[in-house]
Amino acid sequence: MGTPKRETGKAKQKDAGQARETAAEPSALEANFIQNIINEDFKTNKYNGRVHTRFPPEPNGYLHIGHAKSICLNFGLAARNGGLCNLRFDDTNPAREEVEYVDSIKEDVRWLGFDWGDRMFYASDYFDRLYDFAVELIKKGKAYVCDLSAEEIKEYRGTLTEPGKESPYRNRSVEENLDLFERMKNGEFPDGKRVLRAKIDMSSPNLNMRDPVIYRILRATHHRTGDKWLIYPMYDYAHPVSDSLEGITHSICTLEFEDHRPLYDWFLDTLGIYRSQQIEFARLNLTYTVMSKRKLRMLVEEGIVSGWDDPRMPTISGLRRRGYTPEAIRDFCERIGVAKSNSIVDIAMLEHCIRDDLNLRVPRVMAVLRPLKLIIDNYPEGQVEELEAEYNPENPALGSRKLPFTRELYIEQEDFCENPPKKYFRLSPGQEVRLKNAYIIRCQGLVKDEKTGEVLEVHCSYDPETRSGSAASSRKVKGTLHWVSASHAVPAEVRLYEHLFLKENPDEEKDFKSCLNPDSLTRLTSCLLERSLAGAEPGSRFQFLRNGYFCVDTVDSTKSRLVFNRIVPLKDTWAKIQKANK
Ligand code: ATP
Ligand code: MG
């Protein structure tokens, strides 16, 4: 895991597109090994000073925070080096619902702050050329049509310790191969009956080089090419050729593809076309999170979450709905850095990044999540005082609002205790606390439900001399509580989240769903907010004093029924870990 290079308050790269101009010091991303390769390529003039990257998502699911790392890396490197980055959909595997995924991917990349200009491509744009190149490989004696079944191909392939066996169809003549390949294209054979394979080396120590399949027969309607094609190229073949056709200089992918690099190079060298350079980096893994699209899709399809944008999902759309900002996600991607070996990043670091971003940016307001009525017996009935309160003392630019103070208030249930333990600095019989931005009060009694023992009301007196900001307000009390006025409070639902999984690494479990956290969502339906939050816009963010950072839900919230998501609580475990390590 990379060590964070920045601390709160240092110059931050707010505008990803302008990184070169605004970055005050090299960040983890800027000083990474890929940048070193690029610097070296500049020196040797390998690509005539060009840097051209691409982000190549497969439109078979929504993007997640791991993709964000790849997006920041690819677009970031291009921006920093005066280059370009393409968005390319790797749509070689026709599947249903792809259009929905394509749209969501475009939205997410844009939201993260990146721009592909007029360079949005699809691997399917190249199907004709990929076909022609395959014909060329056949003509060069470098590809053949094979009739072995999928199981047989697997069997013939050998293992890491045993060499493979050559297919009996390996030595078909060029003419026969050309004829069969064309007939594959024309639909003369059923699905899976024949494949086109590269003719490389069945005894190669690298399994990827043992005559890999490059085309298969598949009758499936493609979201862009419809029913035009009955054969589809395999990723390992389509990817290098697409990179080459787009003039990509640095083709950045995750470590699993390291063993595929010789094949990547083989296709381009054998075809004699422009050679892009594949560079591998470690994928992002996060604690308490699964990142594979297959697993995320299961959570969606089995209704374990409400959708791809469920605020508990590690998807970009889930994080966005939860209230994460693009700045926080980009900052996170910088801090984690780029490495050559896999590791798991503590999710607390992501949470640290959003706190760091929101700390100064958002208003701090009062919201009572689990209300308990508090009555100030010596406060005149019907009186309303409008108390001035700054939105964010650390950022005066956010201004202030008036807080209505009345005889009947609500405080948090957990801020009152009838029989307090030692060092309990909140409210208890006979004790004093300050109400934030208002007065010091003393608890004089309580009303309980006779049957259940539940505390229904807390009765207090207030000291009129102690209004916040007045001379006597400097009197010290140990606790300060947030509160809302009963007659002015705005009702709301608040959703609290915990990690979706109970285990740090759910992928290690036999069934990742066996460690789902049953308490990952808590819905509090009778919360009360201060008056200024009435009509809060979907997507707007706040700090609720003492309770964390919150965002108005963009799906379920309405003017008359506000719904908030908690982004993160205030307690920063990551900052604590960092401090302890110093
Ligand atoms: P998954 O395993 O989640 O299905 P994938 O690699 O198949 O992911 P793609 O849509 O092919 O998903 O990924 C697009 C790009 O994003 C690829 O270049 C891939 O290397 C990169 N990427 C995917 N997951 C991660 C991750 N966890 N960390 C960093 N980069 C990632
Ligand atoms: Mg993939």
Per the listing, tokens 């966005």 go with 320
CA 522 – CA 494 distance, rounded (Å): 8
Sequence-ordered list of residues with C-beta below 8 angstroms from that of 539, at least 6 positions apart, any chain: 551, 552, 554
Ligand 1 site, residue 60, Cβ cutoff 6 A: no
CA dihedral (238, 240, 241, 242) positive or negative: positive
C-alpha radius of gyration, the chain, whole number: 30
* Residue in 283, 361, 370, 513 annotated catalytic: 283
Give the separation between CA 285 and CA 303, rounded to whole angstroms. Answer: 24
- Give the distance (Å) from ligand 1 centre to CA of residue 270: 27
Place of tokens 């949470």: 351
The conformation of residue 427, written as its DSSP 8-state character, comes to B
Q: Is 361 a catalytic residue?
A: no
Residues in the chain predicted with pLDDT less than 70, given as ranges, are 1-30, 96-97, 472-473, 582
Among residues 50, 90, 47, the alpha carbon closest in space to that of 67 is found at: 90
Digit-coded pLDDT (tens) for 239-266: 999 999 999 999 999 999 999 999 999 9
Q: Please give the pLDDT value at position 97.
A: 63
Structural domains for the chain: 16-281 (3.40.50.620), 293-362+492-581 (2.40.240.10), 367-482 (2.40.240.10)
Whose Cα sits closest to atom 25 in ligand 1?
Answer: 66
List the beta bridge partners of residue 85.
53
Q: Is 548 in the pocket of ligand 1 (CB under 6 A)?
A: no
| Ligand 1 atom nearest residue 294's Cα | 4
Sorted by sequence, the CB contacts under 8 Å of residue 201 that are 6+ apart come out as 209, 210, 211
Contact in structure between 85 and 247 (CB atoms under 8 Å): no
Indicate the residue type of 200.
I
Q: Find tokens 């791809």 and name the residue.
A: 308
Residue 103: predicted pLDDT: 97
Identify the pLDDT of residue 576: 77
Q: Phi and psi (nearest 5°) for 17?
A: -70, -20
Is 58 annotated as catalytic?
yes
Contact yes or no for 449/438 (Cβ under 8 A): no
Mutation test residue for ligand 1: of 77, 278, 283, 350, the one with most atoms within 8 Å of CB: 283
Nearest to 530 by CA among 492, 572, 494, 574: 492
Nearest CA to ligand 1 atom 26: 66
Query: d(Cα 408, Cα 387) in Å, to the nearest integer?
Result: 15
Q: Angle at the Cα of 355 (from 351 to 359), degrees rounded to 5? A: 180
Instruction: Tell me how crowded residue 362 is: count the other CB atoms within 10 A of its CB.
Output: 22
Atom 16 (ligand 1) nearest CA: 67
Neighbours of 382 (CB within 10 A): 8
Residue 1's pLDDT is what? 38
Distance 80 CA to ligand 1 centre (A): 22
Q: How far apart are CA 188 and CA 524, in angstroms?
A: 61
What separation in Å is there between the alpha carbon of 64 and the centre of ligand 1? 9
Whether 195 and 185 have beta carbons less than 8 Å apart is answered as no
293 a catalytic residue: yes
User: Closest ligand 1 atom to the C-alpha of 71?
Assistant: 16
Please give the model's pTM, rounded to 2 decimal places: 0.92
Residue nearest to atom 3 of ligand 1 (CA): 292
Q: What is the DSSP letter of 301?
A: H
Which amino acid is it at 306? S
Rounded to 5°, the CA angle 118-121-123 comes to 170
Catalytic, out of 69, 80, 197, 293: 293
Phi and psi at residue 100, to the nearest 5°: -60, -45
Structure confidence at residue 540 (pLDDT)? 98
CA–CA distance, 375 with 485 (Å, rounded to integer)? 10
Residue type (1 letter), 424: Y
Q: Which ligand is nearest to the CA of 282?
A: 1
Res 360: pLDDT:
97
Gap from CA of 161 to ligand 1 centroid (Å): 29
Ligand 1 pocket test: pick from 87, 101, 109, 254 the residue with the most ligand atoms within 8 Å of its Cβ: 254
From CA 149, how far away is CA 347, in angstroms rounded?
A: 44
Q: What are phi and psi of 569, to 5 degrees?
A: -70, 175
